[in-house]
Amino acid sequence: MGKAFKRLVVISIGLALAAAGYLSYRNNVIDRLYGEAAMDLRFFQGSQEAAGAVRRLATYRGQRSTEYLLALAVQGNPVAPEVQTEAIRALRDRQDPRIAPALAALLQPHEGLDVRRAAGGALQDLACKGECIVSTLHYLERIWRGDLNHEDRRVRPPGFEEVKASLAKDQQALYSSLYSVLQREKFETLGALIKLHGVGTTDPSAFALDLLARLQIQEACPYLMESDRQLKDLSPEAYKAPRQELQTAIASLKCK
């Protein structure tokens, strides 16, 4: 029994040392790949190599690689922009609650179209709650109110109509992907519109009313009807409100 026990102890120690050695080697590889992708001068070989490093980094699971991918996803890289988009795409199949809010925060008009499209595509595969929904609504509201996307600020001379049409098509595809996320998370979406956009009060935002009609969220009907009830007690001459927009939303959703 004594010899058997000693042998078992030796084997256990050997396995522990082997595991520790592998973990150290694995962490060193992940660290180096991040250095290449982040274009650390100690490891940088070129923009294509940096993008390749992101793809290799994505093959490693666990918190360490996820944190590195998140760092690459939220940092702009003017020298190798594909590094950021590759990192965003790599995160779409990881179930970490930090990912969706971080990617939704990239939905800003000043971000490049490729970044916004990658973020929107990733959100289709991720649970989008709370802060993620708020960021998505914030971006869509800015566009609804007329803010220009980065790519729309460039003044193009006559003859570039096909380019403009292609960009508009890509933008609409992005908006559609975000609408599908909001529809999937309809209760989170409705909650944010109630809390932040006044749905159910005398002051519902016109954006929220338009969005609810577009998304066809039937669960909004009691709140829309409550806004309508409250506004009937206030004359249009005495209180300004988006009355026509409210009626359009009620009619679109067939609220009763």
Q: What is the pLDDT of residue 4?
A: 67
Instruction: Render pLDDT for 103-154 as a digit per residue (tens, 0 to 9).
Output: 999 999 999 999 999 999 999 999 999 999 999 999 999 999 999 999 999 9
Three-state DSSP at 56 gives helix
Q: Averaged over 191-212, what is the pLDDT?
A: 98
Q: pLDDT tens digit string along 156-186?
A: 888 888 889 999 999 999 999 999 999 999 9
Q: Say whether 38 sits in a helix, a strand or coil.
A: coil
pLDDT at 79 over 90: no
Question: Phi and psi dihedrals of 26, rounded to 5?
Answer: -60, -45
Considering the entire predicted model, what is its pTM?
0.86
> For all residues of the chain together, what is the average pLDDT?
90
Question: Which of 86-90, 161-165, 238-242 shows the lowest mean pLDDT across its residues?
Answer: 161-165
d(CA 93, CA 61): 11
> Model confidence over 17-28: pLDDT tens digits?
555 554 555 778
Phi, psi of 106 (to 5 degrees): -80, -5
Q: What is the mean pLDDT of residues 47-75?
A: 91
The token pair at 139 is 């971006």
Band of residue 48 on the pLDDT scale cut at 50, 70, 90: confident
Contact 118, 89 (CB under 8 A): yes
Ramachandran quadrant class, 44 (left: phi over 0; alpha: psi -120 to 50; beta: rest): beta
Q: Which of 92, 93, 120, 121 is nearest to 108 (CA)?
A: 120
Q: Is 254 left (phi over 0), alpha (psi -120 to 50) or beta?
A: left
Q: For residue 42, what pLDDT band results from cuts at 50, 70 and 90? A: low
Q: Residue 15's pLDDT band (boundaries 50, 70, 90)?
A: low
pLDDT at 131: 97
Distance CA(31)–CA(179), nearest Å, equals: 37
As a whole number of angstroms, the distance between CA 10 and CA 16 comes to 10
**Domain locations along the chain:** 17-86, 92-147+168-184, 194-256
Angstrom CA distances, 95 to 61, 159, 169, 236, stand at 11, 45, 30, 49
Q: What is d(CA 152, CA 138) in angstroms, rounded to the nearest whole number?
A: 19
